[in-house]
Amino acid sequence: MSENTRSNLSPPRRYDDPSTKIWSLYLDQAEKNNERITESWKGDMDAILIFAGLFSASSFFLPKFIAN
């Protein structure tokens, strides 16, 4: 994709036309919401990775302890 086409696809950050103020407000609110959701996903992913690490470690060491 050319640079010109790529720039045409991205939305402008602010709208200068007063009749499109709603879109500027919408973009601001959508960006805040996206950041909040992303932070929530990061926290959830941290917990999942910790659980997976502990589970894999315990499943690796349990057979060694049971065999003895």
Q: What is the pLDDT of residue 36?
A: 94
Question: Can you give the residue ranges of every domain in the chain?
Answer: 39-68
Distance CA 54, CA 66 (A): 18
Sequence-distant (≥ 6) Cβ neighbours of residue 14 within 8 angstroms? 24
Residue 16 DSSP one-character state: -
20-35 pLDDT, tens digit each: 788 888 888 999 999 9
| Range 11-26 average pLDDT | 70
Q: What is the pLDDT of residue 5?
A: 56
40-57 pLDDT, tens digit each: 999 899 889 999 988 888
